[in-house]
Amino acid sequence: MSAGRFGGHIAVVTGAGHGIGRASARRLASEGAVVVVVDIDQATATETAGLIAGEGGAAEALAADVSDERGVAELRRRVEEGYPHVDVIHNNAGRLRGGSVTELDPAEWDRIFAVNVRSMFLVCRALIPVMHRGGAIVNTASSSGLVGEQGIPAYNASKGAVIQLTRQLAADYTRRGIRVNCVCPGWVPTGFNDPVLEGMSDAEVQAMVDSTVPAGRQGTPEEIAAAVAFLASHEASYVVGHALVVDGGLTAVR
């Protein structure tokens, strides 16, 4: 495998057992990174690491609930034991559930914020001290963090928080040699959006996409992974605190 842009780099990707996280882990590995594949589910993390190995890359699968302080402390211990430093963190673990403010259970609101925002705080808190100068953090936000949308208040608010946390981290750590940005995907058919698409047929989903997305289609995990890889690379060396929208024009016409 070619060394590529990430030859000799160590990358930690959370929520890497499926979807965008899996695609990003594979993309980083394809360009030379050794990837620590983190997911709450060991089986899916192992599957991702196996795919990377089958493609000629290097990866280790670790199970961790990154919304839990003890889980992240164990993640740091394992990373410190196995690697000299960390070059890239891709905070991608996420959760989506529907329900208006009057319908949503407070425990679900808290869980969404724990997975979508608290996890990023905990992972950055744990791993920034072992990051290599010149490293990069890429957080997964969402086009939902930029506009109001019906029926997903906790997700909307949490992704808005991710964008602002990204800016704050950039303000604190850029002068210390760590760039921080986020990517804002639109509709991507990974199964992640199933909780809010329940009851809709494929034709109805396509009609919704046709009416709201100028590109006329959903994105692919690989298209989001390409943006993640760019933001993590030295090619983006002057991109700092930015929310890179990859949504087929969804927010351009809102």
Amino acid in position 98? G
C-alpha distances out from residue 229 to 56, 90, 200, 249, Å: 18, 9, 33, 21
Domains of the chain: 4-246 (3.40.50.720)
pLDDT of 193 reads 81
List of the chain residues with pLDDT < 50: 1-2
Residues 101-122: tens digit of each pLDDT: 999 999 999 999 999 999 999 9
What are the catalytic residues?
155
Residues 10-56: tens digit of each pLDDT: 999 999 999 999 999 999 999 999 999 999 999 999 999 999 999 99
Q: With contact defined as beta carbons under 8 Å apart, do 27 and 221 qualify?
A: no
DSSP assignment letter at 250:
T
With 0-12 / 13-18 / 19 or more C-beta atoms within 10 angstroms meaning exposed / middle / buried, residue 253 is: exposed
For tokens 């679900």, name the residue: 108
Residue 5 sits at φ, ψ, to 5 deg, of: -70, -20
With 0-12 / 13-18 / 19 or more C-beta atoms within 10 angstroms meaning exposed / middle / buried, residue 70 is: exposed
Q: Nearest-CA neighbor of 76 among 45, 109, 24, 122?
A: 122
pLDDT of 103 reads 94
Q: Nearest-CA neighbor of 244 among 14, 169, 236?
A: 236
Q: With contact defined as beta carbons under 8 Å apart, do 20 and 30 qualify?
A: no
pLDDT of 17 reads 97
- Give the Cα separation of 119 and 91 in Å (integer): 8
- Give the Cα separation of 76 and 21 in Å (integer): 19
- Give the Cα separation of 71 and 79 in Å (integer): 12
Q: Nearest-CA neighbor of 17 among 1, 36, 2, 39?
A: 39
- Give the Cα separation of 143 and 188 in Å (integer): 11
pLDDT of 1 reads 45
pLDDT of 233 reads 98
pLDDT of 114 reads 98
